[in-house]
Structures are given as structure tokens and as C-alpha cells.
A and B are shown apart, each in its own frame.
Chain A
Amino acid sequence: MITVKNLKKTYPGKVPTPALKGLSFIVQSGEFIALTGRSGSGKSTLLHQLGLLDNPTEGNIMIDQTDVLALSDTKKTFYRLTSLGYVFQEYALVAEFTALENVLLPAMALGNHNDQKERAKELLSLVGLEERLNYYPNELSGGQQQRVAIARALINHPKILFADEPTANLDTASSKTVLDIFLKLNKEEKLTIIMVTHEPDYAKLAQRNIELLDGLIIKDKKQ
């Protein structure tokens, strides 16, 4: 369960820019949430704070009773490695690694390289890339790369999967494949998923839609 209390983020500068203006909400385990809103509404900023990629200016985030913002940088990194999965808009694969190596990398960092090789293959099979294990990112389509990124995000059994506009650069068919994978993971693995999207149709697939505007939640609706 994620409990967010009075979360604020202001970007410093000559004129400080408030991106999040005191958000509070709770995410139950196993929920699939779509974060929507116009550009600049603060949805990606919120995802970065929840995913421990950035430090909020104020507020509190508890994940399963752990005050994650109080963790040291090293512990945050370890927490990201062991408990959080992240899927970026631009696939974000390591160009020099094959699909299998990209998926295995977080396991290797955890010291589980050999044990997890089979799981990596299974995950790549889950996302339909069992034939592309030894392909390099530049030999894969955008949709395939994104699926490798999903498999990588899942390798260390995360509690929560964060996806930042995962379909933004994909065609309709690839987008559907990615979303089907998310739905399957959420349904079968009970994986908590928080996905930022611009697409209202994709947002409807989630169980809950949190809509932001100017750094505030304007709608929080179960679907």
C-alpha cells in the first residue's frame, strides 16, 4: 500500500515553479492506476517522486509502512532495485546489451544473475520476445524494446510498477500489446501498476483514474 500525504514539489529557479501542490492519496496493493492530465499538470513529476527518482520539496510517502523518503540515497537505490519497477517512455534500454542481458542487469546487480536467467527468459517469453533473446536494442522495433523494458522492470519481483507514458512512442498495435501485458500482470500477478498516460482510452483500462491539473488532483475515480 502506498500512502501519499501532502506531497509538494517546487522546481527551484529565478521564479520557483510549483509542480505538485500538496497531494494526498492512498494506493492499495494490486491496484492499476492511470495518472492523467494535460501536459504540465504534474503527473510525470508525481511518478518521479513515487518512484524515488526525485526528492519532493515537502510531504510524505509510505510504501508498506516504510517511510521511503527518509531512506538514504544508497538505500533508495536498493529499494528501487528490489521493490520498484520502472518503464520509461523511450524504452531506455542499454544499447550494448542484448534483450536478455538488459532484463538480467537488475538481477545481476542484486547478485542473482545465474538464478534469474531462466526467469529472464520466461519474462521475455511473457512479453512475446522468446525469439529475440539475443537481439540488441537497435535490432528491435519500438514496441519490442518497450516489452524488453517491461521484462526488465519485472525481473526482481517489484511490488509496484511505474510506467511513464509507456505507449507514447508506439503504434496502436504495439500499444495494445503493452497494455495487455500490464493488465495481465495486474490481474494474474496482482502487481500494483501506476501508469501515466495521455490517452483517455488507455486510462479507461485501469481500475482507477487520478487526474491532475496544475499540480492538484481534480479527479480520483474508480472505474
Chain B
Amino acid sequence: MHDLRTAAFIAYKSILKGNKSTFILLIFILSLSFLNMMFISGILNGLENLFYRTIINTYASDVAVNPQEKPELKQFILNQNEVQAEIQSIPGVIATTRRYSLAGSISFDKDKNGQFKNVSGAIIGIDPTQEQKVLTLNNLIISGHYLSDTDSDQILLSSALAGGYGIPAPSDLGGARVGDKVQITYSNGVMKTYTIKGIYNDAIGIFETFITAREAESVLNVYNSASQILVKTDIDHTPITTYQKRIQQLQSNLKIQTYLDLLGSFKSFLDALNLISVIVSAISVLVAAITIFVIIYVNAINKRKQIGILKAIGIRQTIIIWSYIFQSLFYALFGVIIGSFIVFLIITPLLNKYPINVEFGYLYLVHNPITIIGGIISMFLAGLLAGYLPARIVARQNIIKAIWG
């Protein structure tokens, strides 16, 4: 114990009476390393968060109830009014909405010369008023208007499918706009002409075209059914899996999925974001470790003679090594404190007030406790290693060589 106390005392005095410029430079670099680690991971977390939010709000909702798959695959959820009412009665369920999924081909003759451009894709029938309580499609309208419950010959078109909005799509209609007429040929052979009522911003690439549920029922010739019921829940207070289980208990024959099951191709994108976050954090920690190592090593080399003298008067090597470890841990601590101050008390509040506007929403810095704790632990581990290695190299030198060269 007194070894550690002696080491701490040597470290304390070395820092207190050491070179102030070196101290400031070291703390500055370490603060930047920590800040960089927290900022990049915060941005990537924010981006991930924004993606989840966008997917939940515009596409997947929290929970999706799908038709029975086993023992026999059904096309629709029958008696959807009753099913929806039952789900709605679960505590914590905020709203539900049904959807019809159809497939079809949309044709558009922009120049009215008989040259049609065609795109194939999903046509979704929605209850516009109810849909607004679950998803935010209505907020994404960039041209024209959102659908009304009674609309029958109007559609909402994706900006990616409309074309000319700078959003890449496998194919588009070459510049369809609000008021233009398009023809949809459904997979069941029904062919109808619709007017584009609105175009929504499809930055994340949903590529879906919306009609009213009423219109979908007329095309499909069904009633009181749904291809899917989307459920908005209070997931901030109850885990999503709890809702999944409760709904499953009520509707044991239906297939219940959470937004996590519906991520699809976004999953790989989000995984890539996580990987980038880990790589950037690792690089920041490495930079911090190398910085501490170099400075402690140079410091130890400069104090080689002093180290030799300490050994000569009987100070144990472990005390000397620990004194350097304490110094580097102190530098790491200071770096973390100052870096935290900048990132959590300056940058984060600033970005919360003025978030970065990206194509599909506002990007905030999001810090999660695991990343923060991981960052702090990484900085301290880096400090521990970067203090230990150079001190050990120098402290192991022969006393005579250390003192007299």
C-alpha cells in the first residue's frame, strides 16, 4: 500500500512541478481524442436513432400485426375492426391503423405522346385519418396534399418514383407531378386511372404508392379486412417485446412483428453504422494511447537519470512504474473531464438547439451510457498501458547506465 502512496506522491509532485506547456498540450490532445470519440459516436448514434425513428414513423410503426401464416397462409386479417379494437384496448397502445397491400404497375405518359414510363411496386391502401395517428406520412408531403378518407381516384406518390427529385430509385416515372394522371394495373388485372394528389419525400426509399383503404377494398373486392395492422405504442416506458407478447396472446393465430423485424435492408446499414462507430472509437483510443505513450516515454527518457537515482537510493521499480502510470491516468482523467465538459455541456446542447438538417429529418447528438462508459474506460486503459510501457522500458535499465549514460 505504501508503494502506491509513494508512487502517487511522486506522480503528484511530477505533475505539479513538471513542464506546464507539456501538461497543457497533453491535456489538450487527450481532450480532443475523447471529444472526437464522443462526438463521432454521438453523431453515429444520432444517425442510427434518426433512422429508427424514421423507419418507425414512416414505414414500420412499433408493432405490425400480419395475417396468419400457419397452419395455412391467409392473405388478410379478417374482421379487422374487432381485431383493431382488441389491440387498442391493451394498456400502452396509443393508436392502430390498418393497411392493404397490393402490387401493381404504374404507367405515366409525361409528354402525352403514347410513350409510357412504367414502375412496378407496392400499392398501399390506408385509412388516412387513422394513419396519421400511427405514422407521419402526412408530414412528408412535399407537393400537393395528403389523402382524405373518402378519396377514391387519388394517390400519394413517392418522390423517388415520381422522378426528378434527386432521390435514386431503380426506375421512375420521369417527372410525374401533382395533378398528373397515372394508370395503375393491379396484379389482379384491375386497371384504374388516378390523379396524383400529393408527393411525399421518400428519402429513405420506401418506394410505396398510397391509395385509400376504401379504394383498396374496391380493387380487392374485400371488406373489413387488412393486410396489416400497424400499432403505435408507448415504447419509452414498456419494452416493445412486451407489446408483441400481449398482442400475440390476444391474437394467437396472427403473426406479430416489431419494427426490428421489419428493418430489412436497413439492418445492414445500421450494422455498418455501428461498426463505423466502433472503428472510429478504437482509432480515437489508439491516438490517445499513442499520445500518452510518446509523452510519457519522452518524459521518462528525459528523467532517466532521476529514475536511476531513485533506484540507487532503494526506490523499488514498481513504485517508479506506478508513478508514471498514475501520471498518465491523471492525464487521461483530465482529458476525459475537459473533453466531457466540451462535448456534453457545449456541443450537445448546441446541437440539440440547432440540429443538423439531413434529408429525412433532424440529426441530434445521441449519447448512450454504454458508449460513454466504454469511452471513459478505454481512455483509462489507454492511459494505463501508455504509462506502464515506457516507464517499464526506462525503469528496467541498469542503474549505472541510467545515471551516467
Contact = CB atoms under 8 A, between A and B. Distances in A.
B316 A77 contact: yes
Interface string B2-26: 1101100110011011100000000
B275 to A, nearest CB: 45
Interface in A96-127: 96-97, 101, 105-106, 108-111, 113
Nearest to A110: B2
Interface residues of B, number: 28
Interface of B: 1-3, 5-6, 9-10, 13-14, 16-18, 305-306, 309-317, 319, 398-400, 403
Q: How large is the interface on A (under 10, 10 to 19, 20 to 34, 35 or more residues)?
A: 20 to 34
Interface of A: 48, 51, 53-54, 74, 77-82, 84, 86, 88, 92, 94-97, 101, 105-106, 108-111, 113, 136, 152-153, 156
Given A95-B17, A96-B16, A82 B314 contact: yes
B18 A77 contact: no
B17 A81 contact: no
Contacts of B17: 95-96, 136
Nearest to A85: B313
Contacts of A95: 17, 306
Secondary structure class of chain B's binding surface, majority of residues? helix
5 contacts: A78-B314, A80-B312, A80-B313, A81-B315, A88-B403
A198 B3 CA distance: 38
B400 A105 contact: no
Contact of B317 (A77, A86, A113): A77
A96 B9 CA distance: 11
Contacts, number: 78
**8 residue pairs, one from A and one from B, having the closest CB atoms:** A81-B314, A96-B17, A111-B2, A80-B314, A96-B13, A92-B309, A108-B6, A53-B399
Given A86-B312, A109-B314, 13 more contacts: A54-B399, A77-B316, A79-B314, A84-B314, A88-B312, A92-B403, A94-B10, A94-B13, A94-B306, A94-B309, A96-B14, A108-B2, A109-B6
A113 B1 CA distance: 12
